[in-house]
Protein backbone atom coordinates (compact mmCIF):
# COMPACT_ATOMS: atom_id res chain seq x y z
CA UNK A 1 0.00 0.00 0.00
CA UNK A 2 1.33 3.39 -0.97
CA UNK A 3 0.60 6.51 1.12
CA UNK A 4 0.06 10.09 0.01
CA UNK A 5 3.20 11.40 1.66
CA UNK A 6 6.50 12.94 0.63
CA UNK A 7 9.54 12.19 2.76
CA UNK A 8 12.76 14.13 2.30
CA UNK A 9 15.99 14.57 4.17
CA UNK A 10 16.49 17.99 5.75
CA UNK A 11 19.77 19.30 4.40
CA UNK A 12 19.80 22.96 5.49
CA UNK A 13 19.14 22.56 9.21
CA UNK A 14 21.53 23.50 11.98
CA UNK A 15 20.80 22.45 15.55
CA UNK A 16 22.29 24.07 18.64
CA UNK A 17 21.70 22.35 21.96
CA UNK A 18 21.19 24.63 24.97
CA UNK A 19 21.19 23.64 28.64
CA UNK A 20 20.87 26.04 31.55
CA UNK A 21 18.90 27.32 34.52
CA UNK A 22 16.66 30.42 34.68
CA UNK A 23 19.59 32.81 34.69
CA UNK A 24 20.97 31.29 31.51
CA UNK A 25 17.52 31.34 29.92
CA UNK A 26 17.43 35.12 30.26
CA UNK A 27 20.84 35.34 28.58
CA UNK A 28 19.70 33.11 25.72
CA UNK A 29 16.53 35.16 25.19
CA UNK A 30 18.44 38.44 25.17
CA UNK A 31 21.04 37.10 22.76
CA UNK A 32 18.48 35.94 20.21
CA UNK A 33 16.07 38.80 20.94
CA UNK A 34 13.15 36.45 21.37
CA UNK A 35 11.19 34.76 24.12
CA UNK A 36 11.90 31.09 24.69
CA UNK A 37 9.16 28.56 25.40
CA UNK A 38 8.80 27.98 29.14
CA UNK A 39 7.00 24.63 29.01
CA UNK A 40 8.16 21.33 27.58
CA UNK A 41 6.94 20.49 24.08
CA UNK A 42 6.45 24.15 23.13
CA UNK A 43 8.01 25.74 20.05
CA UNK A 44 8.57 29.46 19.41
CA UNK A 45 9.75 30.89 16.11
CA UNK A 46 10.84 34.12 14.56
CA UNK A 47 12.36 34.72 11.15
CA UNK A 48 15.25 32.31 10.68
CA UNK A 49 15.22 30.79 14.17
CA UNK A 50 13.02 28.23 15.90
CA UNK A 51 13.41 27.21 19.55
CA UNK A 52 12.16 23.80 20.65
CA UNK A 53 11.67 23.26 24.39
CA UNK A 54 12.67 19.71 25.27
CA UNK A 55 12.69 20.09 29.08
CA UNK A 56 12.55 22.96 31.60
CA UNK A 57 16.31 23.49 31.23
CA UNK A 58 16.87 22.10 27.72
CA UNK A 59 16.24 23.64 24.29
CA UNK A 60 17.21 23.15 20.67
CA UNK A 61 17.76 26.19 18.50
CA UNK A 62 16.98 25.36 14.90
CA UNK A 63 18.37 27.61 12.18
CA UNK A 64 19.96 27.33 8.74
CA UNK A 65 23.44 25.96 8.17
CA UNK A 66 24.48 29.43 6.93
CA UNK A 67 23.51 30.96 10.31
CA UNK A 68 24.88 28.17 12.50
CA UNK A 69 28.25 29.73 13.40
CA UNK A 70 26.87 33.22 14.02
CA UNK A 71 24.00 31.90 16.16
CA UNK A 72 26.35 29.66 18.14
CA UNK A 73 28.81 32.49 18.79
CA UNK A 74 26.02 34.86 19.85
CA UNK A 75 24.64 32.31 22.33
CA UNK A 76 28.06 31.25 23.66
CA UNK A 77 29.07 34.86 24.34
CA UNK A 78 25.75 35.62 25.99
CA UNK A 79 26.06 33.11 28.82
CA UNK A 80 29.22 34.68 30.20
CA UNK A 81 29.78 33.16 33.64
CA UNK A 82 26.38 31.48 33.91
CA UNK A 83 26.24 27.73 34.47
CA UNK A 84 25.06 26.70 31.01
CA UNK A 85 26.06 24.82 27.88
CA UNK A 86 25.85 25.78 24.22
CA UNK A 87 26.73 22.96 21.82
CA UNK A 88 26.43 22.59 18.05
CA UNK A 89 24.77 19.21 17.43
CA UNK A 90 23.97 19.56 13.72
CA UNK A 91 26.23 16.67 12.71
CA UNK A 92 24.94 14.48 15.52
CA UNK A 93 21.37 14.46 14.16
CA UNK A 94 19.76 13.85 10.77
CA UNK A 95 16.37 15.30 9.97
CA UNK A 96 13.51 14.09 7.81
CA UNK A 97 10.50 16.04 6.61
CA UNK A 98 7.28 14.04 6.37
CA UNK A 99 4.60 15.93 4.44
CA UNK A 100 1.21 14.93 3.14
CA UNK A 101 -2.35 14.10 4.13
CA UNK A 102 -1.31 10.61 5.26
CA UNK A 103 1.85 11.64 7.12
CA UNK A 104 0.33 10.67 10.51
CA UNK A 105 -0.45 7.18 9.18
CA UNK A 106 3.19 6.62 8.25
CA UNK A 107 4.52 8.06 11.52
CA UNK A 108 2.12 6.03 13.67
CA UNK A 109 3.72 2.84 12.40
CA UNK A 110 6.96 3.66 14.20
CA UNK A 111 6.18 6.31 16.79
CA UNK A 112 5.45 5.40 20.38
CA UNK A 113 3.33 8.55 20.88
CA UNK A 114 -0.28 9.44 20.19
CA UNK A 115 -0.08 12.10 17.48
CA UNK A 116 -3.66 13.16 18.18
CA UNK A 117 -2.53 14.77 21.44
CA UNK A 118 -0.02 17.03 19.65
CA UNK A 119 -0.78 20.20 17.72
CA UNK A 120 1.06 22.48 15.33
CA UNK A 121 3.94 24.30 16.97
CA UNK A 122 4.82 21.56 19.44
CA UNK A 123 7.70 19.13 19.74
CA UNK A 124 8.32 15.93 21.62
CA UNK A 125 10.78 13.13 22.07
CA UNK A 126 10.05 9.46 21.99
CA UNK A 127 10.86 6.08 20.60
CA UNK A 128 10.73 5.90 16.83
CA UNK A 129 11.23 2.66 14.89
CA UNK A 130 13.56 1.18 17.52
CA UNK A 131 15.62 4.33 17.91
CA UNK A 132 15.03 7.66 19.62
CA UNK A 133 13.57 10.60 17.78
CA UNK A 134 12.61 14.23 18.27
CA UNK A 135 9.43 15.23 16.45
CA UNK A 136 8.61 18.83 15.50
CA UNK A 137 4.98 19.27 14.46
CA UNK A 138 5.02 21.93 11.74
CA UNK A 139 1.42 21.58 10.55
CA UNK A 140 -0.79 19.21 12.54
CA UNK A 141 -1.90 16.12 10.60
CA UNK A 142 0.09 17.21 7.53
CA UNK A 143 3.76 18.22 8.07
CA UNK A 144 6.23 16.83 10.60
CA UNK A 145 10.01 17.04 10.94
CA UNK A 146 11.74 14.15 12.67
CA UNK A 147 15.31 14.19 13.97
CA UNK A 148 17.22 11.00 14.78
CA UNK A 149 20.84 10.39 15.66
CA UNK A 150 22.88 10.44 12.44
CA UNK A 151 24.10 6.90 12.99
CA UNK A 152 20.48 5.76 12.48
CA UNK A 153 19.82 7.89 9.36
CA UNK A 154 20.26 5.07 6.82
CA UNK A 155 18.09 2.76 8.90
CA UNK A 156 15.35 5.38 9.25
CA UNK A 157 15.50 6.16 5.53
CA UNK A 158 14.96 2.46 4.76
CA UNK A 159 12.23 2.27 7.40
CA UNK A 160 10.40 5.24 5.81
CA UNK A 161 10.65 3.66 2.36
CA UNK A 162 9.07 0.47 3.63
CA UNK A 163 6.43 2.10 5.86
CA UNK A 164 5.31 4.57 3.23
CA UNK A 165 4.96 2.01 0.44
CA UNK A 166 8.45 2.18 -1.05
CA UNK A 167 8.50 5.92 -1.59
CA UNK A 168 12.14 6.89 -1.98
CA UNK A 169 13.46 9.40 0.56
CA UNK A 170 14.75 12.39 -1.38
CA UNK A 171 17.93 14.47 -1.03
CA UNK A 172 20.17 12.32 1.15
Question: Same fold for the domain at 6-11+92-163 and the one at 14-90?
Answer: no
The span from the CA of 36 to the CA of 123, in Å, is 14
The span from the CA of 87 to the CA of 60, in Å, is 10
Q: Which helix (H) or strand (E) holds 107?
A: helix 103-108
* The length of the chain, given as a count of residues: 172
Question: Which fold does the domain 14-90 belong to in CATH?
Answer: Alpha-Beta Plaits (3.30.70)
Share of residues in the chain with pLDDT > 70 (%) = 95
Q: Which CATH number fits domain 6-11+92-163: 2.102.10.10, 1.10.238.10, 3.40.640.10, 3.30.1360.120?
A: 3.30.1360.120
pTM: 0.93
What pLDDT digit, counting tens, does each position of 66-94 carry? 999 999 999 999 998 889 999 999 999 99
The span from the CA of 128 to the CA of 118, in Å, is 16
Residue 98's SS3 state is strand
Mean pLDDT of the chain: 93
- Each domain of the chain, given as residue ranges in start order, spans 6-11+92-163, 14-90
Q: What is the mean pLDDT of residues 52-70?
A: 97
Q: Classify the phi-psi angles of 30: left when phi > 0, otherwise alpha if psi is within -120 to 50, otherwise beta.
A: alpha
CA 140 to chain centre: 15
Has residue 35 got a pLDDT over 90? yes
Amino acid sequence: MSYQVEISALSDVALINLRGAKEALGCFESALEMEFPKSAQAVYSREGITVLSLAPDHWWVRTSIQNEEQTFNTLAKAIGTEHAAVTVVSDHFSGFSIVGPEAPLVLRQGLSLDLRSLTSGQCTRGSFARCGGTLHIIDELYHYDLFVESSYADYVETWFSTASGNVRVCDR
